[in-house]
Amino acid sequence: MGDPSGLLVSIIVRQSGMQTTVQDLGRSMWQHIGVPVGGAMDNAAHRIANLLVGNDDEAAAFECALGGVALQFNQSALVAVTGRDISASLDGTPIPAWHPFAVHRGELVVLHAGCRTTIAIAGGLDVPVVLDGRGTSLRAAFGGWHGRALQRDDSIPIGLPTPLADRMSADLSARHRIVADWGASAAMRPPYASKPTLRFLPGPEYHLLTDTSRDVLLGDTFRIAPDSDRMGFRLTGHTLSLVTSREMTSCGVTAGTIQLPPGGAPIVLMADRQTTGGYPRLGDVIAVDLPLLAQLRPGDSFRFAPTSLVEAQAAYCAREATLRHAARALNLRFAAGADGSR
């Protein structure tokens, strides 16, 4: 690869945290043979982080569960950190989330705390493409970095930054800045909350809930159970029951599907969900609200609220439009030939 300095173009994992994986936006086209879609749990944070460092939004980046992650850079790079409740530093100096910053060779980026944090690097993580994706499929142990979560001393290669990223970096250094004075505005970020309300579309077995259970689902708060993972969030606080048990055959499920296993404790399927499921389907958390759920920690609570397909698609299209607009705005601001200082 074109590494002018002749040095290894990579990042060394000094501390791997609870679970740090390489993720992209998933591999949807292999579901017919049972391959989980996977990809970033909070795909909005992932895409925005990539935009901030001049990448395509599906470029591979780190996803860190909670904190305790330290990454040493073997080369200079433009980096962005996104997610909820983030505490991060660059060689000991605190740095803000949602703003790109310049890292120089040898410096250490530390994520002290967070929920489900994306760390994106200009050029993206240059891991092999497997089944049309670079994300880690933990269950089947392929993709990402050797199909597993990162460990201490792993050395992850970085791709070539885009011309846009180069212009962003040049702009920072011309103005003697480490952290950019621009970033993702609050309006652009997902509206994270410590106790969010998640909208859902009622599913085929929703009408089989007992009256009491429906009232609980719509009115009470649920908590994230400790044994939740990238496959699904188990909910505690209430058990729900159906008026009749229904003979189910397995069929397709999606990220956000609210399943009701026999025990009565609902599960919300997340990024690494299996492709099919055989439990009653109470509904599906809408796509734009999944990032809010992805950023909850075990013990955190939230509420459900029903919505309609029309509203859900309107919200989805509005978010997509916002992200596309942001990408265009960045391209204009750092257009080739512009001096970059506005």
Partner 1 sequence: MSNTIHGVGYPGVAGQMKPGTRVSRKDKTAPWATGNVGNRLSGQIRHRPPAPHPSRRVQEAMARRRHTAAYCPAVWPYSLVPLGERALTIDLSGVDASSARALVESLDARIRDDATPGVTGRVPAIRAYTVHYEPMQLSSDALQAYIASVMASLMIGTTPPRVPIVIPVCYGGEFGPDLDVVANTHRITPHAIVAAHTAGEYTVAMIGFLPGFPYLEGLAPALHTPRRAAPRTSVPAGSVGIGGTSTGIYPCSSPGGWQLIGRTPRTLFSAHRTPPALLAPGDVVRFVAIAAEEWATHRDSS
Please choose, out of 16-24, 109-117, 274-282, 292-300, the segment that lies near partner 1 by the rule CB under 8 A.
274-282
| 178 lies in the binding site for partner 1 (CB under 8 A) | no
Contact 24, 134 (CB under 8 A): yes
Antiparallel, parallel or unpaired: β 281-285 and 232-236 = unpaired
Among 4, 249, 336, 339, binds partner 1 (CB under 8 A): 249
For partner 1, the closer CB: 29 or 335: 29
Half-sphere exposure of 20 (CA within 13 A, CB side): 28
Rounded distance, CA 237 to CA 228, Å?
Answer: 14
Nearer to partner 1, 102 or 293 (CB): 293
Minimum gap (Å) between residue 86 Cβ and partner 1: 28
- CB nearer to partner 1: give 201 or 225: 201
| DSSP at 96 | -
Q: H/E element holding 333? A: helix 309-333
Task: Quote the least distance from Cβ 125 to partner 1, whole Å.
Answer: 18
Contacts of 218 (CB under 8 A, 6+ apart): 304, 305, 306
Alpha helices in the chain (DSSP H): 43-52, 163-174, 211-219, 290-294, 309-333
Site string for partner 1, 304-333 (x = CB under 8 A): --x-xxx-xx--xx--x-------------
Element (H, E) at 277: strand 276-277
Coil/strand/helix, residue 75: coil
User: Closer to partner 1 at the Cβ: 173 or 250?
Assistant: 250
Residue from 275, 279, 291, 334 touching partner 1 (CB under 8 A): that is 275
Q: How far is it between the farthest Cα atoms of the chain?
A: 68
Element (DSSP H or E) covering residue 256: none
27 close to 37: Cβ distance less than 8 angstroms = yes
Residue 131 binds to partner 1 (criterion: CB under 8 A): yes
Number of chain positions touching partner 1 (CB under 8 A): 51
SS (H, E, C) 43-78: HHHHHHHHHHCCCCCCCCEEEEECCCEEEEECCCEE
Give the residue with the Cβ less far from partner 1, 20 or 43: 43
Which residue's CB is nearer to partner 1, number 187 or number 310?
A: 310
Least separation in angstroms between residue 2's CB and partner 1 is 27
In 161-213 the beta strands, taken as DSSP E runs, fall at 197-202
Residue 151 sits in the site that holds partner 1 (CB under 8 A): no
Site string for partner 1, 14-53 (x = CB under 8 A): --------------xxxxxxxxxx----------------
Nearer to partner 1, 317 or 329 (CB): 317
Q: Is the four-CA dihedral 52, 55, 57, 59 of positive or negative sign?
A: negative
Nearer to partner 1, 262 or 337 (CB): 262
| Interface ranges with partner 1 (CB under 8 A) | 28-37, 130-131, 137, 139-143, 201-204, 206-207, 249-257, 274-276, 281, 283-287, 306, 308-310, 312-313, 316-317, 320
